[in-house]
């Protein structure tokens, strides 16, 4: 298992990153360990989650504090389908501490859709003090554009994420709403080798989860 809290944070440091977000599928339970390692190494770790909505759309959820992220985690846990994980097929779902020691294992598979709709995801996450935006909108599956064909203004999103920012101009022509949103590009790394070197940046007043969220929600 390569994506341990220490490996994740230290790889980010080697790549020259100042801030990362930990967004496991439908859980925030490993954020505490990653944030602890981040404090030791001088890397800001934003607690988050990659939510799978009821429409099978991925959305990034970010929070200013661990407490708010864990409160959201509890809400999601009560609004997702409980199917027993098959570790032999899908892999183990391990919770670790800051020393990369296993503290537990989640019984139910994290991949299935939750009961939370993309249409109210932004507003619901906002109630928990965080921000939500559609993930990798340019991909052919599990994205808001591939599933719904458009980003409805009534969703309330202030930001959208592209996997490949070279597609931005073409997408803006097809979907004018993108001209009104912040556009971010993240590595969406599921393995250490997928993590990218520092290339993109935000102009912030301070380097903190609060500042990042405030910017993306402006």
pLDDT tens, residue by residue, 55-91: 999 999 999 999 999 999 999 999 999 999 999 999 9
159: which 2 tokens?
């930001």
Give the pLDDT confidence of 4-41 residue by residue, as tens digits. Answer: 999 999 999 999 999 999 999 999 999 999 999 999 99
Give the confidence band of 188 by pLDDT, cuts at 50, 70, 90: confident
As a whole number, the mean pLDDT across the chain is: 96
At residue 187, the pLDDT reads 87
Give the confidence band of 42 by pLDDT, cuts at 50, 70, 90: very high
Question: Cβ(55)–Cβ(148) under 8 Å?
Answer: yes
Q: Residue 41's domain spans which residues?
A: 5-216
Give Cα 104 to chain centroid, integer Å: 22
Q: Is the pLDDT at 1 greater than 80, yes or no? A: no
In this prediction, residues 107-112 reach a mean pLDDT of 96
Give Cα 143 to chain centroid, integer Å: 13
Please enumerate, as own/partner, the contacts of 65-73 that have beta carbons within 8 Å and a separation of 24 or more: 65/129, 65/209, 66/31, 66/32, 66/35, 68/128, 68/129, 68/130, 69/28, 69/31, 69/130, 70/28, 70/29, 70/31, 70/32, 71/128, 72/28, 72/125, 72/128, 72/130, 73/27, 73/28, 73/29, 73/49
Question: Cβ(91)–Cβ(109) under 8 Å?
Answer: no
Name the pTM for this structure. Answer: 0.96
At residue 205, the pLDDT reads 86
Based on the structure, what is the number of domains in the chain? 1
At residue 3, the pLDDT reads 87
Return the CATH number at 139: 3.20.20
At residue 93, the pLDDT reads 97
Euclidean distance between CA atoms 125 and 64, whole angstroms: 12
Percent of the chain at pLDDT exceeding 90: 89
- In whole angstroms, how far apart are CA 139 and each of 87, 95, 97, 136, 146? 27, 29, 33, 6, 7
Euclidean distance between CA atoms 123 and 40, whole angstroms: 34
What DSSP element (H or E) covers 87? Answer: helix 87-90
């Amino acid at each position: 298992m390569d994506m341990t809290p220490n490996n994740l944070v230290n790889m980010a440091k080697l790549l020259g990153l100042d801030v990362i977000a930990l967004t496991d599928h439908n859980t925030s339970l490993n954020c505490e360990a990653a944030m602890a390692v981040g404090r030791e190494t001088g890397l800001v770790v934003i607690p988050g989650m990659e939510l799978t909505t009821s429409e099978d759309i991925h959305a990034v959820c970010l929070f200013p504090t661990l407490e708010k992220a864990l409160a959201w985690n509890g809400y999601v846990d009560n609004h997702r389908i409980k199917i027993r994980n098959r570790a032999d097929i899908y892999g183990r779902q391990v919770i670790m501490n800051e020393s990369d020691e296993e503290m537990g294992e989640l019984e139910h598979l994290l991949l299935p859709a939750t009961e939370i709709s993309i249409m109210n995801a932004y507003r619901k996450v906002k109630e928990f003090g965080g921000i939500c935006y559609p993930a990798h909108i340019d991909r052919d599956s599990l994205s808001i554009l591939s599933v719904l064909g458009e980003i409805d203004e009534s969703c309330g999103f202030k930001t959208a994420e592209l996997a490949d920012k070279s597609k931005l101009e073409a997408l803006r022509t097809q979907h004018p709403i993108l001209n009104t949103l912040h556009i971010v590009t993240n590595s969406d790394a599921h393995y250490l080798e997928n993590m990218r070197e520092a290339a993109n940046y935000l102009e912030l007043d301070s380097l903190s989860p609060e500042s990042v969220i405030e910017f993306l929600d402006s």
